[in-house]
């Protein structure tokens, strides 16, 4: 069936007849929506919308993750042929998933971007859809948390990252990808007692009460033990999962703005993500993919797989059967 479909399927981003189902379009051809989902702004009956926020003007080092959403979409074309390995269910067949496209904004009015992101997210959530976001730098997570907390209340944060992003910043007008955790705790968007950061390997003494499972912890104790600890900390309430691609070692994800050695392997990350299934993941994002620093495309491939894992985690507690 797949071979026959591959002969006729093209531009599923626009032509696919329904929101559910696998796609057998040639990976090297056609319009590149995320996982070949249909591009649409109509969220009627949609379970989860994928959207891009190509903003990278809050970075401290190398810019370029404005190109992340486009690269992750292109890399994802290898994935929609089969259900994701090891999950035992197919989120693309179980749920109505669409690609909502990217957020529009005026790149020359940076101060307007935070409220624009929050409004963009609120519009999706108020339509009754969950959302999965492709960044962009890690600043975008702060307004996304504002929108999700407005809907679900204070959230447990599950953060994969090389940096804690909890550096002190009491200036509400600053837009910085290294301070979103600090501001999220101060604003009451996340509950630090239910929050955990995985893969940290840069110094910052003030973690705002967030549990730190640093990269050496992962290497020494193994991904299964890390996943167990994440489940213990996060508990039963709603959680938001944010994955900075620099949580992975530069050997696996060189295409990012602030790479740090000693990070997670892609295999470790995959096990941890799958072993936290059952947490109530209400939303998530993949950020800091800067494809121009990676001639192999491996970073975008990793980002696409992480995004699929977040989709699987969101669907795990909502699937039938």
Please state the residue numbers annotated as binding site for Mn(2+). 138, 161, 163, 165, 244, 246
User: What is the rounded CA–CA span in Å between residue 320 and residue 307?
Assistant: 21
User: What is the rounded CA–CA span in Å between residue 80 and residue 230?
Assistant: 29
Contact 256, 289 (CB under 8 A): yes
**How many CB atoms lie under 10 A from the CB of residue 220?**
9
Specify binding-site residues: 138, 161, 163, 165, 244, 246
Provide the token pair at 192. Answer: 């630090």
- Kindly give, in sequence order, each residue whose CB lies less than 8 Å from that of residue 173, ignoring residues fewer than 6 positions away: 111
H helices of the chain, where?
2-6, 12-15, 68-75, 91-94, 113-126, 141-152, 180-186, 215-221, 223-234, 266-275, 298-316
- Please, which residues bridge with residue 196 across strands? 158, 211
**Residue 60: helix, strand or coil by DSSP?**
coil
């Amino acid at each position: 069936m797949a071979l026959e479909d591959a002969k006729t399927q093209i531009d599923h981003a626009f032509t696919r007849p329904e929101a559910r189902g696998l796609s057998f379009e040639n990976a090297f051809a056609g319009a590149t929506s995320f996982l070949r989902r249909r591009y649409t702004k109509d969220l009627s009956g949609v379970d989860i919308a994928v959207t891009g926020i190509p903003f990278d003007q809050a970075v401290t080092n190398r810019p370029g993750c404005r190109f992340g959403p486009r690269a992750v979409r292109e890399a994802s074309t290898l994935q929609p042929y089969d259900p994701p390995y090891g999950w035992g269910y197919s989120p693309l067949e179980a749920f109505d998933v669409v690609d909502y496209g990217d957020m529009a904004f005026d790149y020359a009015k940076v101060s307007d971007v935070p409220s624009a992101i929050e409004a963009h997210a609120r519009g999706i959530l108020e339509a009754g859809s969950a959302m999965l976001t492709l960044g962009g730098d890690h600043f975008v997570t702060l307004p996304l948390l504002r929108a999700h907390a407005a809907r679900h209340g204070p959230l447990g944060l599950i953060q994969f990252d090389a940096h804690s992003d909890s550096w002190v910043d009491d200036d509400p007008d600053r837009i910085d990808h290294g301070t979103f955790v600090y501001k999220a705790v101060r604003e009451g968007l996340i509950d630090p007692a239910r929050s955990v950061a995985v893969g940290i390997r840069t110094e910052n003494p003030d973690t705002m009460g967030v549990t730190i499972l640093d990269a050496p912890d992962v290497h020494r104790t193994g991904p299964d033990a890390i996943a167990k600890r994440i489940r213990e900390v996060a508990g039963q309430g709603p959680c938001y999962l944010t994955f900075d691609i620099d949580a992975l070692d530069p050997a696996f994800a060189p295409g990012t703005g602030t790479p740090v050695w000693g990070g997670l392997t892609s295999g470790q990350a995959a096990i941890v993500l799958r072993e936290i299934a059952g947490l109530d993941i209400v939303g998530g994002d993949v950020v800091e993919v800067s494809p121009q620093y990676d001639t192999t495309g491996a970073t975008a491939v990793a980002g696409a797989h992480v995004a699929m894992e977040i989709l699987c985690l969101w669907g795990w507690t909502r699937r039938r059967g």
